[in-house]
C-alpha cells in the first residue's frame, strides 16, 4: 500500500538503517560503516593459495591450515554485502548505479544474479535456503516483505493487508519465512511468521509486547526479540505467539537473538551489560533459556556481536579496545562456544582492509565457508568469503546453515 510522502521518507531512512547496523552502531560512530561510495572494486583473491574461482579453489596441505579469502564483489557494482549463505547460494545486495539491489551469488563475483523487482526503487535479499530467497523491496514508497522462488527467482509480495507500514522478511528455512511488519507506522513492529504467502502470515508477538522482530528460523524454531515491560528481550518461539520463551539474562539491560540451530537447540545474538554510556555489548550464546546464557565477548574487546550459528560454531564480529592496534574497527570473528575460543578472521585479509564482519556459516564436505563483508578506508563494502579446508568443525555440520543476521540485517533498535 502507498505511504504518504512524509511517512515514506521516514520509513525509508528507518528501514535502511535497520537493514545494515545493530543497535546504536550508527554510520557516523563506527569507522567500519558508511554508505557505499560510488567506486567499483575489482575481484580480489587474498591468498597465495587462491588462484582460480571459488568453486574449484585448490587448497594444498600447507594452505589447509590457513583461511583463504575470496571477494564476491561484482565488477559492475560500487558496493556489495553478503547477508547469508548456504546450499551453494549467497544472498545480499549490490549497489549498482547508486541503487541497492537484492542479489544472489553462487560462489564467484561473476555469478551475481540481480533479483531486484522491476517496480522497486531498492531491495535486499536477506536469506537463502532450499531454492527460496527472502528479503524486502520498496514498491511505490512502501517496504514490502518479499520472497523469491523457483529457478526464475520469481518475486512474491508477502506483506499482509494488516501491515499498514510495510514489513521485511529476514530469514527463510524449509518453506517458511520470519521477519516483521508494521501494523501501523509510526508504531511498534510485529514479529512475523509466513508459509510462503501473504495469507499465511501470523503474529509471534507475546502478550504485552509493544515491539518485536523475528530474525532467524531453523526448522520449527524462530528467534528474535520482543519488548515486554519496557525491556527488549532475546526471544525464542516454536511457531506461535503463545510459545514465546524469554531468553533475557539476569543482569543485562537489553538482549537480542539473531540465529538458531534447531539441531543443537542453541541460539546466538548479543546483550547489553549495564546501561547508558557505561553499557558493554557482548556476543551471546543460549541453550533455550535465560539461565543458559554464555558471554562470548573475548578479553580486550569493547563490543562483540554473534550473528550466525551452526554445529557448535558461532560467527559475528568484535571491535578491539583501545589502544590495541586496529581498535574501533570491526573484525570478523568465529567462536566455538566460549569467549576464549575466539578466532580473529580479519587477520587473513590484507593489511589495507580496516573493517570486516562475518554474518553466515556454511559447510560443504571438508570446506568451511564464512560469509561477510570487508572494506578499506573510504571505500565501499565488498562481499567476501573466508574458506577453510580442514576439520575445524565437528562431523555432521549441515550444508545449509544460515547466519545473521543480521542482519544482517541487523535492525537498529531504539532509534
What mean pLDDT comes out for the span 58-73? 60
Torsion angles phi and psi, residue 286, rounded to 5: -125, 160
- pLDDT above 70 covers what percent of the chain? 77
pLDDT band of 410, cuts 50, 70, 90 = very low
Burial of 43 per CB tally in 10 Å (0-12, 13-18, 19+) = middle
* Gap between the Cα atoms of 332 and 354, Å rounded: 11
DSSP readout, 13-40?
A: HHHHHHTT--TT--TTT-TT-----S-P
Which pLDDT score, from 0 to 100, does residue 140 have? Answer: 93
Helix (H) or strand (E) run with residue 6 in it: helix 5-18
Q: Tell me the pLDDT tens digit for each residue of 82-100.
A: 999 876 899 999 999 999 9
* Gap between the Cα atoms of 87 and 405, Å rounded: 17
Mean pLDDT of the chain: 80
Which pLDDT score, from 0 to 100, does residue 150 have? Answer: 81
| Closest-CA residue to 120 (of 97, 95, 137) | 137
Pairing, β 382-389 against β 68-71: antiparallel
* Gap between the Cα atoms of 169 and 37, Å rounded: 26
Pairing, β 167-173 against β 142-149: unpaired
What mean pLDDT comes out for the span 135-145? 96
What mean pLDDT comes out for the span 136-147? 96
Residue 49 has pLDDT above 50, yes or no: no
Residue 252 has pLDDT above 50, yes or no: yes
Q: Tell me the pLDDT tens digit for each residue of 286-312.
A: 999 999 999 999 999 989 999 999 877
- Taken in order 229, 233, 239, 245, the sign of the CA dihedral is negative
Q: Tell me the pLDDT tens digit for each residue of 188-239.
A: 999 999 999 999 999 999 999 999 999 999 999 999 999 999 999 999 999 9
pLDDT band of 363, cuts 50, 70, 90 = confident
Which pLDDT score, from 0 to 100, does residue 360 have? Answer: 94
* Gap between the Cα atoms of 340 and 336, Å rounded: 9
Give the pTM.
0.80
Q: Tell me the pLDDT tens digit for each residue of 342-362.
A: 999 999 998 789 999 999 998
* Gap between the Cα atoms of 97 and 104, Å rounded: 17
Amino acid at each position: 500500500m502507498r505511504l504518504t510522502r512524509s511517512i515514506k521518507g521516514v520509513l525509508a531512512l528507518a528501514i535502511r538503517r535497520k537493514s545494515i547496523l545493530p543497535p546504536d552502531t550508527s554510520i557516523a560512530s563506527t569507522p567500519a560503516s558508511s554508505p557505499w561510495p560510488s567506486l567499483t572494486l575489482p575481484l580480489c583473491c587474498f591468498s597465495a593459495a587462491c588462484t582460480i574461482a571459488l568453486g574449484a579453489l585448490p587448497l594444498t596441505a600447507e594452505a589447509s591450515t590457513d583461511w583463504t579469502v575470496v571477494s564476491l564483489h561484482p565488477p559492475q557494482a560500487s558496493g556489495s554485502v553478503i547477508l547469508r549463505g548456504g546450499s551453494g547460494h549467497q544472498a545480499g545486495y549490490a549497489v549498482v548505479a547508486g541503487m541497492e539491489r537484492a542479489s544472489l551469488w553462487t560462489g564467484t563475483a561473476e555469478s551475481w544474479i540481480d533479483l531486484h523487482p522491476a517496480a522497486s526503487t531498492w531491495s535486499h535479499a536477506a536469506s537463502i535456503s532450499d531454492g527460496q530467497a527472502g528479503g524486502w523491496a520498496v514498491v511505490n514508497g512502501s517496504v514490502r516483505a518479499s520472497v523469491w522462488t523457483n529457478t526464475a527467482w520469481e518475486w512474491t509480495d508477502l506483506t499482509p493487508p494488516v501491515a499498514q507500514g510495510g514489513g521485511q522478511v529476514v530469514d527463510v528455512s524449509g518453506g517458511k519465512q520470519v521477519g516483521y511488519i508494521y501494523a501501523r507506522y509510526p508504531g511498534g513492529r510485529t514479529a512475523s511468521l509466513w508459509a510462503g504467502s501473504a495469507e499465511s502470515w501470523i503474529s509471534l508477538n507475546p502478550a504485552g509486547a509493544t515491539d518485536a522482530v523475528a530474525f532467524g528460523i531453523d526448522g520449527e524454531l524462530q528467534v528474535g526479540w520482543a519488548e515486554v515491560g519496557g525491556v527488549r528481550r532475546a526471544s525464542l518461539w516454536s511457531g506461535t505467539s503463545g510459545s514465546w520463551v524469554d531468553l533475557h539474562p539476569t543482569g543485562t539491560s537489553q538482549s537480542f537473538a539473531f540465529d538458531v540451530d534447531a539441531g543443537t537447540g542453541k541460539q546466538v545474538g548479543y546483550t547489553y551489560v549495564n546501561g547508558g554510556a557505561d553499557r558493554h555489548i557482548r556476543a551471546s550464546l543460549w541453550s533455550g533459556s535465560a539461565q543458559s546464557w554464555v558471554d562470548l565477548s573475548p578479553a580486550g574487546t569493547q563490543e562483540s556481536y554473534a550473528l550466525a550459528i551452526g554445529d557448535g560454531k558461532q560467527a559475528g564480529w568484535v571491535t578491539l579496545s583501545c589502544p590495541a592496534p586496529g581498535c574501533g574497527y570491526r573484525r570478523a570473528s568465529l567462536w566455538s562456544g566460549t569467549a576464549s575460543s575466539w578466532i580473529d578472521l580479519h587477520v587473513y585479509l590484507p593489511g589495507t582492509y580496516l573493517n570486516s564482519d562475518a554474518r553466515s556459516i556454511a559447510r560443504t564436505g571438508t570446506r568451511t565457508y564464512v560469509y561477510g563483508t570487508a572494506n578499506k578506508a573510504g571505500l565501499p563494502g565488498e562481499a567476501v568469503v573466508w574458506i577453510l579446508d580442514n576439520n575445524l568443525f565437528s562431523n555432521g555440520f549441515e550444508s545449509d546453515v544460515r547466519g545473521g543476521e543480521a542482519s544482517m540485517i541487523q535492525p537498529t533498535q531504539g532509534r
